Amino acid sequence: MQREIVRLHFHDPSRSSRSIAAAVNSTGTTVGDLRARLAASGYTESDLRDLDDDAWVTALGTHDRSIAVRKPAPDWQWVHEEMKRPSATLETLWREWRETCPDGIGYTQFSTLYREWKRTLNVVMRQTHAPADKLFVDFAGQTVEVRDPDGGPSLFAQVFVAVLGYSNLTYVEAVASQTTPDWIQCHINCFEAIGGAPRWVVCDNLKAGVVRRERDKIVINPAYADALRHFRTAAAPARPRRPRDKGKAEVGVQIAQRWILFRLRDRVFFSLAELNAEIRRLCEEMNGRPFRNRAGNRRQRFEDGERAALMALPATPYEVCEWRYEVKVGADYHVEHLGSYYSVPFQLAHQRVDVRATRSLIELFTRGRRVAVHALAASTGQTITSDEHRPISHVRVLEGEPKALLAWAETVGAQTREMMRYHLEQRSDEFNGLRTARALRDLARAYGNQRFEEVCAYALRLNIRTLRALKSIFSDSTDRRAGQAPQDGTKSRPPHENLRGAEYYGG
């Protein structure tokens, strides 16, 4: 909630704390306190945007601060409807409600607040809308049949309607469903059609927009919130059973059904593209119709007073995404998404991460910080792993595979390549050859690639290939002493795999 309060503060600094509190279902005191801390800190929106949760609370000093909320109150509309039933009393309703909400308000406050709420039923406020302030959106109740040209079942297209509060300019589009991707794509197309984005989008409580309403907060569909954030706007859901909150959308739907859909009632369409082409033509005609009670029309009022006030569209197009929260990371530090597996840093094994998936990418987050990004798998069942996510022990195991060992040998030199190819390709005991090759790779790490190449050159001239003999050359620097006469006059003897040393006899 703190992030949303800060975002809305920078989104419209002139907006009151009480107004922001209403948008996020908090209190004016809480919002005011956070805005005061924000002002004192001197941080800008860009300073805070990429902070994870721990850095965020440190920056704003919000450690262990609980958000003070008033005691829960009931849905007064429900109380009002129940009071219409025979023999209903406020005390009985209060007792029934307290059984479901033990920490709610007491009876005295219950009865007082209900009477105050009841007095507001017949009070109507005339709403005035500033240019580019609000866009009202909804789906029409009426659908349009789109027939299958091959004789299959028909599609009954859903009709999306958007109305700008100031100019009443209306945008209408038919889509296949009311699912989240179609809902978001309608918004994207609408913003592109009007050439910008409003400050607020007033939507109904359909699942594509609002996941659920809880007693103390509204949970916006994560994918929908992400899309609006890209266009630097925000959702302002209408209250349940409050049609006046979205009166523009209600009227816009009614007008669209009368002036567009009714005129299409006898038309037969075989594709959404064909249907939308006709809708666009009729919608443009409707926006050009003169107002009844004032001069001009929707299009003229939009061009003269609202287009310039819209927020500019982002330079990069938005890609529709899907969010999944609290996804469990497996013991193999991979996360499953649509049947494929994607790695995260191994330290996050057994923990939970948030997943954001687009049509081309998958991003993984923990505590507000992105920890991994991958290209989306081309087919189901793939495992995509970044080497930097593996523990060093796993990296060593992978580096020990024959293909990787030979690739490494190619980068060191011809003598190293010959030595590794012998153990990996020419030995009859392949398993022991692989173990030896892994051990030789460890020797190169310990002594360096250049030194390893020198030892291999010396050993191969003498037909020495065993691991023990090579270790002896490294430890005694035999190759470097081979051309030097010993001080006691004896001749130095190079190590050989068939020679037994003193340790063989216990010496």
User: What is the rounded distance in angstroms from the CA atom of residue 198 to the CA atom of residue 103?
Assistant: 39
**When comparing pLDDT for 280 and 483, which is higher?**
280
Highest mean pLDDT among 122-131, 339-348, 395-404, 480-489: 339-348
Q: What is the pLDDT of residue 296?
A: 86
Per-residue pLDDT at 126: 52
> Could you report the per-residue pLDDT of 255-308, keeping only the tens digit for each?
888 888 888 888 899 999 999 999 999 999 999 989 877 788 999 999 998 999
* C-alpha to C-alpha distances, 463 to 455, 456, 457, 470, 491, nearest whole angstrom: 12, 10, 10, 11, 20
In this predicted structure, the answer to whether residue 9 has a pLDDT above a threshold of 70 is: yes
pLDDT band with cut points at 50, 70 and 90 for residue 488: very low
Torsion angle of the four alpha carbons 349, 352, 358, 362, in this order, in degrees rounded to the nearest 10:
-20
pLDDT of residue 68: 34
**Interval 57-76 mean pLDDT:** 66
pTM, full prediction = 0.51
Interatomic CA distance for residues 343 and 387, integer angstroms: 9
Instruction: Of 96-110, 229-243, 441-455, give the lowest mean pLDDT range.
Output: 229-243
Residue 456 has pLDDT above 90, yes or no: yes
Question: pLDDT class for 487, splitting at 50, 70, 90?
Answer: very low
pLDDT of residue 246: 54
Which of 209 and 414 is assigned the larger pLDDT? Answer: 414
pLDDT category at 399 given cuts 50, 70, 90 is low
In the predicted model, what is the mean pLDDT of residues 184-192?
93
Average pLDDT over residues 488-495: 50
Mean pLDDT of the chain: 83
Report, at the CATH architecture level, how domain 134-309 is classified. Answer: 2-Layer Sandwich (3.30)
Q: Which CA distances in Å does 416 have to 151, 410, 424, 475, 494?
A: 69, 8, 12, 18, 20
State the average pLDDT over residues 204-220: 76
Give the per-residue pLDDT at 243. Answer: 52
* pLDDT of 392 strictly over 50: yes
Q: What pLDDT is attached to residue 171?
A: 94
Give me the percent of the chain exceeding a pLDDT of 70: 87
**Backbone phi, then psi, for 56, in 5-degree steps?**
-65, -50
**Of the given ranges (155-159, 176-180, 194-198, 502-506), which has the lowest mean pLDDT?**
502-506
Collect contacts of 345-348 with beta carbons under 8 A, ≥24 apart.
345/371, 345/372, 345/388, 345/389, 346/389, 346/390, 346/391, 346/394
